[in-house]
């Protein structure tokens, strides 16, 4: 069975003002997401699932889904504020859904095979999809064995300012032992540095793996996520801005010895529009990849 690509796109409506401004960065107006889906299809993924907000469904189906459906089967699921376990209600003051792992939970009724999770607006690169597809195919029929693509930190920086990254801690066998969110990471005088929680400047190796929210799971992950969401809601009932993130769930499974998560190395360079000033650089990087023959002029 071929793995599924699960695309987190629920934030699109607010970020892009409906979908009217979905940014065309490729030579023929392709979006970053078009490149991810093209890479996934040629790496052997067999189905595409989007999680979105219901209010922009019609727009999304017309502008986005219609592009892909002749190339790969597509499903759409919805992340809403009130998608909560029995006995819980939306707290006063809550306006946004519950974060990336809540979004992942929305796929549980349509995904029954190993699956990848990615952000809609990050450029991940061909090699990353290739190594992830290979690992997901090997994960068929297994449980409690997941993976993530660990980007080399030097391949994920912005030229326009500092970035935040989930820095991965791994053991000798390349299994994750934890993901620590680090902020204000940048290259200064040729070295990659960040400031730790004690105010100390730390220099990190170019190849240190970081999470760019590119994960691989098997369907048993949904049950863990559902169970832990109850604990999360109890602990955060008085915090209207709390978010149930994927690394939170993954760290819980690792520290409880319930699952192992393999960190897959990739030579792909990640890029995205972190700052408005990044946009032109992204356009140029995509053009260079097209000119080099990595991608055709027109994808779909």
pLDDT, tens digit (0-9, with 9 covering 90-100), for 166-184: 999 999 999 999 988 898 9
Tell me, what's the pLDDT at 18?
62
Residue 163 lies in a domain: no
Quick one: tokens of 205? 């190796």
Q: Tell me the three state secondary structure of residue 117.
A: strand
Question: Which pLDDT score is estimated for 17?
Answer: 64
Q: Is residue 174 part of a domain?
A: no
Report the number of distinct structural domains present in the chain: 1
Using CA atoms, how far apart are residues 44 and 133, in angstroms rounded to an integer?
A: 7
Rounded to the nearest integer, the mean pLDDT of the chain is 92
Query: Does residue 263 lie in a domain region?
Result: yes
Residue 220 lies in a domain: yes
Residue 181: per-residue pLDDT: 86
* In a domain? residue 15: yes
Beta strands in the chain, from DSSP E residues, in sequence order:
4-8, 47-52, 74-78, 115-119, 145-152, 163-170, 176-188, 191-195, 201-204, 209-217, 260-266
pTM equals: 0.93
**Looking at the domain assignment, is residue 167 inside a domain?**
no
Are the C-beta atoms of 156 and 165 separated by less than 8 Å? Answer: yes
Residue 212: its pLDDT value, please? 95
CATH number of the domain residue 123 falls in: 3.90.550.10
pLDDT of residue 38: 97
Asked, for residue 181, whether it belongs to a domain, the answer is: no
How high is the pLDDT of residue 188? 93
Q: 57 phi and psi, to 5 degrees? A: -60, -50
What per-residue confidence (pLDDT) applies to 126?
A: 96
Q: What is the pLDDT of residue 20?
A: 59
Which pLDDT score is estimated for 83?
Answer: 78
Helices (H), 209-259: 220-235, 246-255
Domain with 104 in it:
4-149+211-291
Crossing angle of helices 32-43 and 126-138, rounded to 10°: 40
In this prediction, the residues of the chain whose per-residue pLDDT falls under 50 are: none
Asked if residue 93 belongs to a domain, the reply is yes
């Amino acid at each position: 069975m071929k793995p599924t690509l699960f695309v987190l796109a629920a934030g699109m409506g607010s970020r892009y003002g409906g979908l009217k401004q979905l940014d065309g960065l490729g030579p023929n107006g392709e979006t970053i997401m078009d490149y991810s889906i093209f890479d996934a299809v040629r790496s052997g993924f067999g189905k595409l699932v989007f999680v979105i907000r219901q209010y922009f469904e019609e727009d999304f189906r017309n502008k986005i889904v219609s592009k892909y459906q002749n190339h790969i089967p597509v499903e759409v699921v919805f992340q809403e504020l009130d998608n909560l376990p029995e006995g819980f209600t939306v707290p006063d003051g809550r306006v946004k859904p519950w974060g990336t792992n809540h979004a992942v939970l929305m796929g549980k009724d349509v995904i029954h095979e190993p699956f990848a999770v990615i952000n809609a607006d990050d450029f991940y690169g061909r090699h990353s999809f290739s190594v992830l597809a290979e690992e997901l195919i090997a994960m068929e029929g297994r449980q409690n064995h997941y993976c993530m693509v660990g980007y080399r930190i030097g391949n994920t920086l912005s030229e326009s300012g500092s970035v935040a990254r989930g820095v991965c801690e791994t053991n000798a066998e390349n299994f994750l032992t934890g993901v620590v969110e680090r902020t204000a990471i940048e290259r200064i005088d040729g070295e990659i540095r960040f400031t730790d929680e004690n105010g100390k400047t730390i220099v990190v190796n170019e190849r240190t793996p970081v999470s760019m929210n590119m994960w691989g799971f098997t369907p048993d992950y949904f049950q863990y996520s559902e169970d832990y969401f109850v604990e999360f809601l109890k602990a955060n009932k008085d915090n209207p801005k709390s978010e149930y993130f994927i690394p939170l769930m993954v760290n819980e499974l690792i520290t409880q010895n319930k699952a192992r998560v393999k960190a897959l190395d990739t030579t792909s360079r990640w890029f995205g529009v972190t700052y408005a000033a990044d946009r032109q650089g992204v356009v140029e990087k995509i053009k260079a990849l097209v000119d080099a023959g990595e991608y055709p002029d027109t994808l779909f």
